[in-house]
Amino acid sequence: MRILIAGSSGLIGSALATSLERGGHEVRRLIRPTTVGDGIPWDPGEGTLDPAAFDGVDGVVNLGGRSIGDHRWSDREKHLLWESRIPSARLIAERMAAAPTRPGVLINASAVGYYGDQGDRVLTEADGPGSGFLAELTQAWEAATAPASAAGIRVVTLRSGIVLSDAGGAMGRLLAPFGPRWLSPYRWGLGGPVAGGKQYWSWISLEDEIRAIVHLLIGDVSGPVNLTSPAPATNREFVKALGRALHRPAVMPIPGFVIRIVLGSELAEAMVLDGQRVRPARLEAGGFEFRDTDLDRAMRTAVGR
């Protein structure tokens, strides 16, 4: 296959590109004006993307977007998060629809934040959206792909959970909510369950995240797909597994108000204190076999222990 990737320099994008190339596939990369390296230039802010970029392309994967948890959610930060996702997804979908030879599939990133805070209720792709900024952002992100689906292109939206990797992404922020990684309370044995630890955190190993994306590229599924392990964990279970992987105790509770002070109330709620107990119903129904369903094993791999 020949696959075009937007966001190929991020945690998931770089791992996906490497996996596809190792599998004998050709990878093309969309790069923004400020990006150094080889690739096809585009500028979502200016609305520039040559339809010829899709010539001979079998599938497109859009993983681009400003990191959700790097900054407090001021009005300006929310605007930047929105503008880093919605216009770029819409531009890709419109240009794919207008291409002389259309790629067969568009895989577009999304997140389990779509469901909002749902407590311990088991959620599948059949469940509707929740409330709050992150739920609104993911809804708009998914809706931005409409021009591609209207043109008959198969569109898949990836509602990913916490991808287990200490190299970055959501878990990197969760490990080090106070800033640099060396300040992580969990690495110093000073961490524990957050705000009681009953909220569910849906997770997936980086390897299974990549394998699932490849599975969806070559399959026939369309619509939303939950990219989460079939074994979601409570925050308490999650941080206990993290402590075991780091060979550190994880028994010192972290009050919710501390996280709210550090991250700001809205980001703290969405990223840490809210819960989604998500099951990957469509992946399971499609025969996808997870390699990492044991949280302890997956966590040891994620932190390199």
**Cα–Cα distance between 5 and 59 in angstroms, integer?**
9
Would the pLDDT of 177 be above 90? no
**Cα–Cα distance between 274 and 226 in angstroms, integer?**
17
pLDDT band at 168 (very low <50, low <70, confident <90, very high): low
Give this prediction's pTM: 0.92
Average pLDDT over residues 30-52: 84
Ranges 12-26, 112-126, 220-234, 258-272: which has the least confidence? 258-272
pLDDT band at 30 (very low <50, low <70, confident <90, very high): very high
Instruction: Report which residue type is found at 275.
Output: G
**Cα–Cα distance between 43 and 91 in angstroms, integer?**
9
- Cβ distance 60 to 54 under 8 Å? yes
What pLDDT sits at residue 50? 85
Find, among 122, 90, 126, the residue nearest to 108 by Cα: 90
Percent of the chain that is helix, strand, coil (3-state, to 5):
40, 20, 40
Q: What is the mean pLDDT of the chain?
A: 91
- The single residue listed with the structure tokens 């207008």 is 98
- If you ran DSSP here, which 8-state letter would residue 53 be given? G
Instruction: Report which residue type is found at 183.
Output: L
More confident position, 161 or 34:
161
Average pLDDT over residues 56-74: 91
Would the pLDDT of 60 be above 90? yes
What pLDDT sits at residue 174? 64
Ranges 132-141, 181-190, 195-204: which has the least confidence? 181-190
**Cα–Cα distance between 136 and 163 in angstroms, integer?**
21
Domains (range + CATH), the chain:
2-302 (3.40.50.720)
What pLDDT sits at residue 32? 83
Ranges 33-37, 130-134, 298-302: which has the least confidence? 33-37
**Sign of the dihedral through C-alpha 222, 227, 206, 271:** positive
What pLDDT sits at residue 303? 85
Would the pLDDT of 182 be above 60? no
**Cα–Cα distance between 128 and 126 in angstroms, integer?**
7
Most confident of 38-47, 186-195, 216-225: 216-225
Element (H, E) at 225: strand 223-227
CA distances from 126 to 161, 219, 295 (A): 16, 20, 25
Instruction: Report which residue type is found at 41.
Output: P
pLDDT band at 175 (very low <50, low <70, confident <90, very high): low
Average pLDDT over residues 21-45: 87
Cβ of 150: how many Cβ atoms within 10 Å?
11
Find, among 32, 62, 39, the residue nearest to 213 by Cα: 62
**Cα–Cα distance between 133 and 85 in angstroms, integer?**
14
Residues β-bridged to residue 159: 110, 226
Would the pLDDT of 91 be above 60? yes
**Cα–Cα distance between 260 and 257 in angstroms, integer?**
5
What pLDDT sits at residue 120? 92
Average pLDDT over residues 256-276: 90
What pLDDT sits at residue 46? 87
